[in-house]
Structure 1
Amino acid sequence: MGFLSVLTMAQRWASEHAPPGSVVVDATAGGGVDTLFLARTVGPRGRVYAFDVQREALEATRSRLREAAAGGSGNAAGGGQQDGRKAEFRSKPRRPSLAPVELLHAGHERMAELVAPEHRGTVRAVMFNLGYFPAAGDEGRKLITQTETTLAALEAALGLLAPGGITTIVVYPGHEGGGEEAAAVEAWSASLPGDVAQAALYRFLQKPSAPYLIAVRKR
């Protein structure tokens, strides 16, 4: 068995720091993979904020959440009658399994402004998956995350985290502009004082252009 992928490791670290009922943030909603993962992780007593600058990404996320909710919203149950009449089936609703999700059409650098005041300083996990939204095709690839706003968002995320909370950042050095952004995120993480946060790096060393994971855990 090989090592976990960087995306799976990011989810594992996030889940380890965000128990059910937590407030969490998907800083880059994209197609909604991490948003759905977080909504399942923190459950119906939790809360998820999901940011993206592309409406197409938010719609893809909304669709993914609806599909997941529909798949777990009910169960066919009922009595097959023995007298030859049509059997009756009633929908037996289950308790919701997903957290409420607030989809925000905004850059992640605005998270300190848009996360509700009562949740500031209580967030348990913030997930970043940088780069571009693949489902948007060639046009989407032109709209990539930018170093300046990414660093601003990371500062905002650190301020929102509760002590012991984590930020996971998957960076993509292989596309144009991605290497500079990855280096800046790595430098920012390494510069944090040890009494403020602990930073970690998860990377496949034989693949220097492959995505890798940086994590920051608030003290």
Structure 2
Amino acid sequence: MIVDGILPFARKLIQSHIDEHSIVVDATCGNGNDTLFLANQVRNGQVYAFDIQAEAILNTKVKTQEFNNIHYFQLGHEHAASIINNDHPFIDATIFNLGYLPKGDKQITTNSHTTIEAIQTLFNITKKDGIIVLVVYPGHPEGQIESNEVNEFVKSIDQQDAHVLHYQFINQKNNPPYIIAIEKRN
């Protein structure tokens, strides 16, 4: 297959920017799938997992209980950079899965204000050639608002500072998810 699905492509982007010693962030740990993926990739590194919901942190801890290199925070991703920066000056990669917790309360969603703040602050502590990957879900009302506003924000990033990629299947119905990747240049 030449074209990857959304989640496999997001993971390939992350893998191409990290090694086993990397410092990585799961900005929306949800049910723990990305945290588990990251922990397997950086066995001698550190994983920082954030979510505002206790249920998400618990789900993630259960899924990743065999690892001792994960730091869990029941906080919004807009606080991630200040917490991580206390331990490490730079990070290698961050992943976001925007929207709501699968099988959780669909009224609790990420929003453009905190997501943009998190992108800005995490970008500041991302090392040169590091990456931020966002999986965006515009298929629900708040997700559409967030999608529009995050897109406007990333379009404004100076091309001297980052390469910004938009990866999307354009022939799928119901506002399918897509990827925004921000690779730091300086």
Q: TM-score range by the shorter chain?
A: over 0.9
Task: Kindly indicate whether residue 135 of structure 2 is the aligned counterpart of residue 170 of structure 1.
Answer: yes
CA distance in 2, matches of 1:170, 1:117: 27
Structure 2 counterparts to residues 2-13 of structure 1, below 5 A: 3-13=3-13
Task: Kindly indicate whether residue 15 of structure 2 is the aligned counterpart of residue 18 of structure 1.
Answer: no
One-letter identity of the residue aligned with 2:146: E
Task: Kindly indicate whether residue 82 of structure 2 is the aligned counterpart of residue 113 of structure 1.
Answer: yes
CA distance in 2, matches of 1:24, 1:54: 20
Structure number with bigger Rg: 1
Q: 1:186 aligns with which of 151, 169, 177?
A: 151
Give the equivalent residue in structure 1 for 2:121: 156
- Runs of at least 4 residues off by over 3 Å: none
- Aligned to 2:160, the other structure's residue is in SS state coil
Please give the TM-score of this superposition, normalised by the length of structure 2. Answer: 0.95
Deviation at 1:210, TM superposition (A): 0.2
Give the equivalent residue in structure 1 for 2:111: 146
Count how many residue pairs are aligned between Structure 1 and Structure 2.
Answer: 184
Indicate the percent of aligned positions where both proteins have the same amino acid.
36
Contact 1:202 1:213 survives alignment (8 Å): yes
- Aligned to 1:10, the other structure's residue is in SS state helix
| Closer, same or farther: CA 2–194 of 1 in aligned 2, 3 Å | closer
Per-residue CA deviation, residues 17-41 of structure 1 (Å, 9 max, x unaligned), is 0111000000000000000100111
Deviation at 1:118, TM superposition (A): 4.0
Give the equivalent residue in structure 2 for 1:90: none
- Aligned to 1:128, the other structure's residue is in SS state strand
Q: 1:104 aligns with which of 70, 73, 97?
A: 73
Structure 2 counterparts to residues 27-66 of structure 1, below 5 A: 27-43=27-43, 45-66=44-65
CA distance in 2, matches of 1:126, 1:27: 7
CA distance in 1, matches of 2:153, 2:183: 13
Q: Any gaps of 5 or more consecutive residues in structure 2?
A: none
Quote the RMSD (CA, aligned, Å): 1.3
Task: Kindly indicate whether residue 163 of structure 2 is the aligned counterpart of residue 198 of structure 1.
Answer: yes
Give the equivalent residue in structure 2 for 1:133: 101
Contact 2:85 2:125 survives alignment (8 Å): no
Q: Any gaps of 5 or more consecutive residues in structure 1?
A: 70-97
Per-residue CA deviation, residues 39-67 of structure 1 (Å, 9 max, x unaligned), is 11111x1000000000000000000002x
CA distance in 2, matches of 1:204, 1:99: 37
